[in-house]
Structure 1
Amino acid sequence: MKTIIITSLQQLESYRSNWTEILEENENDNPFIEYGWITTWWRYLSGDNQLFIIGVQHENEMIAFVPFMKKKGLLLERIYFIGYGQANYMDMIVSDKWKETVIRFVLEELLEERGNIIFHLHGLLTSKGTDNLLIQFLSEKGVPFHLSKVVSPFANTNEIEMEKYLKKRLKKDSLARKEKRLKKLGKVTFSTLTADQCDAMFKLHQKRWKNKMDTSGFSKGPTKEFFEELVSLKHEAFQTHIHALFFEGRLIAFDYGLQCRGRHVFYMPAHDDDFGAFSPGKIILKELIRSCVENNISIVDLSIGFEPYKYDWNTHIDYAYRITFSGSNYYAKAAYEFLKLKEIFVSYLKKYRSIVLFKRNTLGRWLNYFRKQDKKKAWSVFHKNVANIRKFLFERTTCYVYKQSIHQKQQESNVNPYKLISAIDLMNDDDSRKDLEKLIRRLYLQNDGFCQERKSFWVDYKVIRLHAGIEEQLPKNSAYVYDCDLYESTMAGAVLARNHQIEHIYITDFNKNKTLLQKGFKLKKAFVITTIAGRKFIKETRYEKGKEQKG
């Protein structure tokens, strides 16, 4: 048995058939170790790494390939699996009967010859067994090592009764209701994207992550070019499938998925935050699982990570291990101890979802402003955050609730100049696009918007909004008018034209409003809302027949 060090793609090409035959024999379902994925990644993203694939030959037959790359430093050589940063899972290209022998043969040789070496091997799925063989070898040799792991939830479609499986999950997150409401607002379609349609996907990903800390680089530079190239690859054992969800022709969610034999990896999902109220990412995941069931794909891999939604859809859990160990050299041991402490610290932080979200969302937004050198925007956000802290510590506001009784004759006597606002109107209006997420959410909550030229107002039929996060249920047959600069009697006509059963109109103001009283409204309640260290205290005052009654 001997090793052959492969240091170029040209050299590797001569072993392509050996590589693919081993994976075919194993019925490999890990797309990240397929020949096409490995070589494409290297062409675009190898950077200053050096190719260091170790081929193992036995009796003139290639029996294994260990897909390493190395980075040389002043005092150390670092060994990684190829694909580090993009490959969720990695492994050795070797049949099960040779795996243990190859691991021992290759690592013994490397550790004996190179004392100044440190290994940082990621993505070893525990279900494949390589991690256990590595641990066993290192333990026997007395080589210190550190393990860290990340969860990898998946759904086994062979164990799914589709209707029963979906019923439970659609009910839990009200997903059926959300999808129904989305379809009520416009045409919803589910399809797959081709290579020439990728621009819309990358634009959506950029929009989703522009104010967040995106460590994937999916839609930028060489990484973007790499993922574009994967879509174009043909005649490979793995394929790229981009499932997409459209609303009125607009892409609102996608999954950049990698499919290899019986496994589909839900690799890079993203959705349009403007439509976040409808959970489009979960809708596309539901459709993806349905598609996998229909096409006999047995594993829907929800990818690595602790995101809560994955636990709503998985049937099983796997783990991807990262193993770090070093040679006997003093500097290698010191580097190992440093990486070990770093891994422990990072793993500890990732246990706390709030820290992860703060880093990704809040810190990412701040850094984005400074990267753009948008000082005005940065200071605006800073002052807004300071104001929010002040309001969190102490704030007192008074919300006055006004009520007007209306009658059917108002609809007949008033011309209704208002048009009902649709989702398409909001998407096409320049001013609305600035607050599209907030406005689309109103439609999800079944609020109605009305507009006339540049004037508009909104109506809620369920609650009165008193303050941020504080609501009061509306009485039956009532409507709450909000986002209204100046109330006009024609607004009541528009509300009645939309809902003939409305008998009462409610409006709120943070000041006493004489104009509303002159237009027939009566002051019904006042709420004094005091915030102290985040806790809200509410004092309600009722008004009956012009007299104040405390309650």
Structure 2
Amino acid sequence: MMKLEIIDNILDFEKLIPAWDKIYNALSLQPPFSVSDWNLTWWKHYGKDNQLFILTIYQDNELCGIAPLYIQKKNGIKTIKFLSSGESDYLDFLFLPEREKECLAFIFDYLFKQKNWDILDLTDIPEQSVLAQNYTELLSPLSTAGMTLLPDIICPYLQWEQSYDEFLKSKSSNFRYDLKRKLKRAKQLGEVSFRVIENMDDCISFAKIAEIYQKRWEKKATDSIIRSDIGQQFLEEMCKIWETKKYLKIPVMTINDKPVAFCLGFIEHNKFYYYIPSFDTEFVNISPGNLLIEFIVENFQNLGITELDFMKGEESYKLKWSSTFRTNYRLLVANNLIKSKLIYLSQLNYIKFKNIAKTSETLRWIRFDLLGKIKYLLKTISNSTLTHKN
């Protein structure tokens, strides 16, 4: 017999951790953002003013499924979301093998008997997820107000099926020449070194990572975990946890011992997750980011890594290295209430407009470059005024 229990407070969340980890460790394809440490730490930093809503599914008293959710209450709208939404690149439910569909059906059946939510908005669902593959079959008998699964963003990746030399030969001559030229130019500036560090105080500190990243994006209107104080606090705590679990891997390029490019990444399931990369804008002419990727591709096979996951985002530099990608999906579902249907239609149209805007170079320039420069200018003026007053 199946039963569902709700975790709605942090003490019960902490008690759930051992059982959560047991399920996670049994799932070889589960995204690393589903690990308990990530979600518990995220909730401690971001959970204020929201309602914890973790659904646990039991079969004959055995835990067989976890839906890591919370309810966001904003502008009178109650939205069910994944824990760590916004700071994670892949999100999903956790179900024991062979129990996926029955657990998912049980969760949906429960949700549609409740009136404490308006919208179910689940983002960054991997294409291989049972949720993405079975939502129509399981939701159609329940939903009357609206449901949509939208392709949201691509996630390029590179699998190593050949040696580095063979891989490089498969790229264009211009690609290979550009890498050699940029490396030669870098060596003219000083002693170039590449290394992989596993401790934040070795070669590069978290403060330095934040400084390089902030400088790189200060004139761009982009949202990022590392551009806010709360995001930095969360990520710094997670890095300490990753250190102890041997997940943390930070490839760094230095010139004369000065960090010029890095990638705050981690290894899980024989994949290297290229999570937060950046470079010192002073060295933009030598493309330090691409040189660092070359180092990763050439050397990480020796660590037993079989895939470089560039994660979500279709930045041009990623597509130069790989033309293969997976797709993340977004599931938007309305509760069977008139209010929910109206909210659903409004949000669906907004999401579709954003997707159209992504394909427009002009709108992208306005959003990321123009607005970013305006914000940077206003911030500079504000800081100058405060300094003058003091």
Of 220, 226, 243, 1:218 maps to 226
Contact 1:208 / 1:272 at 8 angstroms: preserved in 2? yes
**TM superposition shift of 1:220:** 3.1
Mean CA deviation greater in 220-229 or 44-53: 44-53
Looking at structure 2, the residues matched to 170 and 247 of structure 1 have their Cα atoms a distance apart, in angstroms, of 27
**TM superposition shift of 1:180:** 1.7
Contact 2:87 / 2:225 at 8 angstroms: preserved in 1? no
Looking at structure 1, the residues matched to 184 and 130 of structure 2 have their Cα atoms a distance apart, in angstroms, of 44
Which structure 2 residues correspond to residues 433-444 of structure 1 after superposition, within 5 A? Answer: none
Q: For each residue in 1:353-378, what CA deviation from the matched residue of structure 2 results, as whole angstroms up to 9, or x when unmatched?
A: 4432432122201122123435999x
1:30 maps to what in 2? 31
SS of the residue corresponding to residue 37 of structure 2 reads: helix
Looking at structure 1, the residues matched to 113 and 346 of structure 2 have their Cα atoms a distance apart, in angstroms, of 22
Using a 3 Å threshold, how does the CA distance of structure 1 residues 237 and 126 change in structure 2: closer, same or farther? farther
**TM superposition shift of 1:319:** 0.4
Asked if 1:71 corresponds to 2:72, the answer is yes
Which structure 2 residues correspond to residues 406-425 of structure 1 after superposition, within 5 A? Answer: none
Which structure 2 residues correspond to residues 216-365 of structure 1 after superposition, within 5 A? Answer: 216-234=224-242, 239-314=247-322, 316-365=324-373
Contact 1:238 / 1:260 at 8 angstroms: preserved in 2? no
**TM superposition shift of 1:237:** 6.4
Q: What amino acid is the match of 1:361?
A: D
Contact 2:69 / 2:80 at 8 angstroms: preserved in 1? yes
Percent identical: 23
SS of the residue corresponding to residue 56 of structure 2 reads: strand
**TM superposition shift of 1:167:** 3.6
1:51 maps to what in 2? 52
2:8 maps to what in 1? 7
Asked if 1:205 corresponds to 2:213, the answer is yes
Contact 2:221 / 2:368 at 8 angstroms: preserved in 1? yes
Looking at structure 2, the residues matched to 357 and 285 of structure 1 have their Cα atoms a distance apart, in angstroms, of 26
Using a 3 Å threshold, how does the CA distance of structure 1 residues 231 and 5 change in structure 2: closer, same or farther? same
Of 181, 191, 195, 2:200 maps to 195
1:137 maps to what in 2? 138
Contact 1:203 / 1:219 at 8 angstroms: preserved in 2? no
Q: What amino acid is the match of 2:101?
A: E
Contact 2:242 / 2:248 at 8 angstroms: preserved in 1? no
Using a 3 Å threshold, how does the CA distance of structure 1 residues 219 and 89 change in structure 2: closer, same or farther? same
Aligned residues: 376
Q: What amino acid is the match of 1:55?
A: T
Contact 1:259 / 1:265 at 8 angstroms: preserved in 2? yes
Looking at structure 1, the residues matched to 339 and 246 of structure 2 have their Cα atoms a distance apart, in angstroms, of 40
Which structure 2 residues correspond to residues 380-391 of structure 1 after superposition, within 5 A? Answer: none
Structure 1 unmatched ranges of 5 or more:
378-551
Structure with more of its chain in helix, by fraction: 2
2:188 maps to what in 1? 184
Contact 2:101 / 2:130 at 8 angstroms: preserved in 1? no
Q: For each residue in 1:137-173, what CA deviation from the matched residue of structure 2 results, as whole angstroms up to 9, or x when unmatched?
A: 123435422232211111112x233112124447433
1:491 maps to what in 2? none
**TM superposition shift of 1:300:** 1.0
Looking at structure 2, the residues matched to 127 and 14 of structure 1 have their Cα atoms a distance apart, in angstroms, of 30
Q: What amino acid is the match of 1:146?
A: T
2:388 maps to what in 1? none
Q: What amino acid is the match of 2:85?
A: Y
Structure with more of its chain in strand, by fraction: 1
SS of the residue corresponding to residue 86 of structure 1 reads: coil
SS of the residue corresponding to residue 15 of structure 1 reads: helix
1:119 maps to what in 2? 120
**TM superposition shift of 1:199:** 1.7
Asked if 1:147 corresponds to 2:149, the answer is yes
- Normalising by the residue count of structure 2, what TM-score does the alignment of the two structures yield? 0.90
Looking at structure 2, the residues matched to 308 and 82 of structure 1 have their Cα atoms a distance apart, in angstroms, of 29
1:498 maps to what in 2? none
- Computing the radius of gyration from Cα coordinates, the structure with the larger value is 1
**TM superposition shift of 1:286:** 1.5
SS of the residue corresponding to residue 113 of structure 1 reads: coil
Contact 2:143 / 2:335 at 8 angstroms: preserved in 1? no
SS of the residue corresponding to residue 340 of structure 2 reads: helix
Using a 3 Å threshold, how does the CA distance of structure 1 residues 369 and 108 change in structure 2: closer, same or farther? same
Using a 3 Å threshold, how does the CA distance of structure 1 residues 27 and 296 change in structure 2: closer, same or farther? same
Q: What amino acid is the match of 2:10?
A: L
Contact 2:54 / 2:68 at 8 angstroms: preserved in 1? yes
Q: What amino acid is the match of 1:195?
A: M
**What root-mean-square deviation, in Å, do the aligned CA atoms of Structure 1 and Structure 2 show?**
2.2
Looking at structure 2, the residues matched to 169 and 284 of structure 1 have their Cα atoms a distance apart, in angstroms, of 17
1:472 maps to what in 2? none
Of 172, 175, 191, 2:174 maps to 172
Looking at structure 2, the residues matched to 226 and 65 of structure 1 have their Cα atoms a distance apart, in angstroms, of 23
**TM superposition shift of 1:22:** 1.2
Looking at structure 2, the residues matched to 348 and 238 of structure 1 have their Cα atoms a distance apart, in angstroms, of 41
Looking at structure 1, the residues matched to 183 and 131 of structure 2 have their Cα atoms a distance apart, in angstroms, of 42
Which structure 2 residues correspond to residues 379-528 of structure 1 after superposition, within 5 A? Answer: none
Looking at structure 2, the residues matched to 17 and 292 of structure 1 have their Cα atoms a distance apart, in angstroms, of 31
**TM superposition shift of 1:273:** 1.8
- Normalising by the residue count of structure 1, what TM-score does the alignment of the two structures yield? 0.65
**TM superposition shift of 1:248:** 1.3
1:62 maps to what in 2? 63
Using a 3 Å threshold, how does the CA distance of structure 1 residues 128 and 291 change in structure 2: closer, same or farther? farther
Structure 2 unmatched ranges of 5 or more:
386-390
Looking at structure 2, the residues matched to 17 and 178 of structure 1 have their Cα atoms a distance apart, in angstroms, of 48
**TM superposition shift of 1:268:** 1.1
**TM superposition shift of 1:24:** 1.4
Looking at structure 1, the residues matched to 32 and 284 of structure 2 have their Cα atoms a distance apart, in angstroms, of 30
2:159 maps to what in 1? 156
**TM superposition shift of 1:238:** 7.4
Using a 3 Å threshold, how does the CA distance of structure 1 residues 297 and 357 change in structure 2: closer, same or farther? farther
